[in-house]
Structure 1
Amino acid sequence: MISGLTMEQRRYEGGRARGYLVGCVVAVLLWSVASAQIRYSISEEVNEGTVVGNIAKDLGLDKSTLTERRYRIVSSNADPLFHVNQNDGIMYVSRKIDREEVCAQSSTCLINLKTVLENPLEVHYVGVEVLDINDHSPSFPDEETTLEISESVLPGARFQLKPSRDPDSGHFSVQQYKISQNDHFRLEVKNRGDDGKIPILVVQKSLDRETAESHSLVLTALDGGKPPKSGNINIIVNVLDINDNAPVFSKEVYSVTLNENAPVGTTVIQVNATDLDEGSNGEVVYSFSKSMHKNILNTFDINTSTGEIVVKGLIDYEQKDKYDIEIEASDKGFAPLTTEKSVIIQIVDVNDNVPEIEVTSFSSSIPEDSRPGTTVALISVNDLDSGLNGKVICSISDDVPFTLSPSLQENMYSLVTKSPLDREKQSHYELTITAKDAGQPPLSSEKTISVVVSDVNDNSPEFSLSPYTFYVTEANEPGTSVFSVKAFDRDENDNALISYHILRDGNQENKLASFLNINSETGDILALKSFDFEVLKTFQFQVVATDSGTPSLSSNVTVNVFILDQNDNAPVILYPVSSNGSAEGSH
């Protein structure tokens, strides 16, 4: 029995058209009550010709009557999905059915068919539910998606992802999401009802762009099939930089040597700092510390872009042998971060200073009787250079009676006598002292000092003759100079100032000296009486020459005097003397 229709109605003979109209009205009424009289279910994608069901049997129709009546489907798609065998009332699949194609917008795919059985007309409603099979994999809108997340975000930050879609329905639709193993992110899934499950990426560990500037994740969507089908999307998380890193210098210590007198523009050293940030946060500029002394700023310059330090002014080791320069490396972030680093510049001495000689104590005059080793002068030498360039050796010529004796104090010398002096041989010396350093090539300087050998009374007066012999004519005029002696002394000044005197010691040889006198300054000798050849023919005496030194020195000379005869006596006749003592012929 078909509910709602009587046998009288089925046998109504009002004609096919009228019966069809009545059937439609009844069908509408029935459709409002139930979706179908008979309901079948088949799986999608079954092969063409697959039996859906036996309508005749399920409606309780007599099989024998089907040969006289025609059974057909009157409502269906333009491309029929099903057909009924006229002979047995069995409904078959006309072609493969894709549930997602037929019922794209519905979670339940129920196809309602209106069938008619003619002669007499009967209308029947059949519902065929196309059951879903897991014939689709979940898929994402894109193969890859990119997220940009600042490294400053805190753990717990959430980022909704585009969900995966699966045309299958029910349990075969997307049931869960998984994310690839990583340290920084986890996944949450939110159920949005008709919108399905929505994946949400949650930051679980702070991001550091300098450690990893991007993260590659794989998000997998799985349906409920057994085994499940899945779909993937690659998620690239680009970590956006914040200025959280200060520049870092490439070396712990920057140390370099630089020759003094290096030309302006000479590259001293190049420092390098890197910043792990990106963009302006990672761009580094260099400068000298604001606390640097003006002298350093006048001596060196730095390239703000390259970190190259160059010579700007005079480099003089003697003024400064070491520079400790503080360099700053700053990024260009909105709030710049700065790192300081010291650069040690050790100045290398070059031999650019000649030795300097200074006479710290000097006796310009030295007695000729000074012993060897007597100090004449103290000499100090100085060389502003260092090392071998500042090591000075002093020397003096070998052909002088002086030498340089090193002192216990460095770079101090004593100028001393090395042999006896004799003023009478050389009274003046021009001594040239040479100071030479040990640089390559060496530099030297000279200093000349004058040394005067002062006289000591070490020479006795010397008479020009010894002995003296003079001839004096008798009858000389008393009180006049009759002859003179002369002595000289090789000393000088008072030591050479000579005075004369006649030795009057009572000696028989000098007895006649009482008749003589001598000028003490000139050595002229005067006779105090006339000599008479007939009385005295010869005599001698001694003259003493004495210098004025202290103590004085003297020497003697013997003077021999011969009296010359003059014709000052008339002849005398001498008579013979008798034996009795009287002269004969006196009568």
Structure 2
Amino acid sequence: MSYSITEEMKRGSVIGNIAKDIGLNLGRLSARRARVDFEDNGVQYCRARAGKPLELHRFTIRVQDINDNAPQFNEDTLKFEISELAVKGARFSLDVAYDGDIELDREDNNELSLVLTAFDGGSPQRSGTVVIHVTVLDANDNAPVFSQTVYKASLPENSPLDTLVITVTATDADEGINGEITYGFDHPSDENKKFTINPSNGEVRVAKPIDYEKESSYEIQITAKDGLGLGTDATLFIEIVDKNDNAPVLFLSHSLIRFLRMCLLVQRWASLMFRTETQGTTDRSAALFRLEFLSMSTEQLDRELVSDYNITITAIDEGSPPLSSSKTVHLTVADINDNPPVFEEQTYSAHVTENNKPGSTLCSVAARDPDWRQNGTVVYSLLPAEVNGAPVSSYVSVNGDTGLIHAVRAFDYEQFRSFKVHVMARDNGSPPLSSNVTVNVFISDVNDNSPQILYPSPEGNSFMTELIPKAAHAGSLVSKVIAVDADSGQNAWLSYHIVKSTDAGLFTIGPHSGEIKTQRDISESDSMKQNLIVQ
């Protein structure tokens, strides 16, 4: 910052308003105890009516000369002795007259015209004049001056590289190399690396990506130097304009997860909307969070129908265009023991042949429980009952884990042909739930019984006697053999046969009826005693 004042100014004269010129608030000047320090000497030329924390601003005060001094020679009278034979154009050195003012200023007047008068010592005195044309050569006595002490610019973030931010200009009253201005950044810094400045025309352009979320403003010191190194500084403030280039970031808290679980427990979905100014998005625009759930029916939650829910939470900011991000919360419905085991069949049938081996498998029952873990673990057992007066457990057993039903003993078809077993399936929930099923056990017959002859009764021996008339004709009924078999079905079908007889052609037996009849008339020549063996 440069100020220009004239010399001989009175004490208390205003030089400039530093608060306005460097863009500081008056309150900050006062609160931070601003003061003025001089670099060249300890003389206090100026003061400021207004530093915590320390902040430095450099000022240059240029004092302009006024013509308040007359030229002065060291002597009142100068004496020269010049030979009369002096050659025309001879030079004679004069003592220099000193003037406290600045004699020549090319920037005010670059040419001077002087009239030199020469007087001789004759009588009458004669004189001659000559006009001296003086061209004032430039000296580098002027530093460049910026058009503004503080430049301000705004720049949207994500601007393309080489985007023109602002053009700064400075002028130098000198000429030639003394007035050639080169622009640059005063001190290398990270901020400067984001931008470049054209050393010839002062154009400031984007050199690296600009991100509002990393830096919202930049303060850069710019210098303008002439050809011989005189320079001045200006401040460039660049405000970065936020653009909606960041989607909200969702952080799901445990409290929100608990809330969602509570929604499941109370059988109700929620539709929530809330906003935040700082959380969930790094852009300046506020983020609008929407929690939208589909409506649930009035039916109870059933883990066995739907065990898991995926709830999507979307955060939408209010930028233009709006950006959003989503997260999905996975919720699992906790199981309760609300389902009893269910048998795959309403009744079961087991078929076993008699005389089976103890431990043989009769059948298998199976029940399914849609609950989870111990609530769905099924254990099988027999319900207490009796079969022919004996506990059912003395006839069959059931494997508690697999549901396989085994015979405990060998069955006798001739004692009983079927019986019922009641099996219970119980889960391991608390309290446990159960269901029952009936197993019908059918015993199949095997041919394990020989026929028993009921008539004629042998009465302790295998012989019996029948009497027939001597004059019996053919087809006469002689006797009948009656036998039974304890087995059933084909195993109990009986057939009768004469395996041996005294006269093979005299008698016949009905194979199914057991009736013994004569095949011909009995004659006088037939033996009075006939022996028949019937099987």
TM-score, normalization by structure 2: 0.46
State the structure with more CA Rg.
1
Q: Which has the higher strand share?
A: 1
TM-score, normalization by structure 1: 0.43
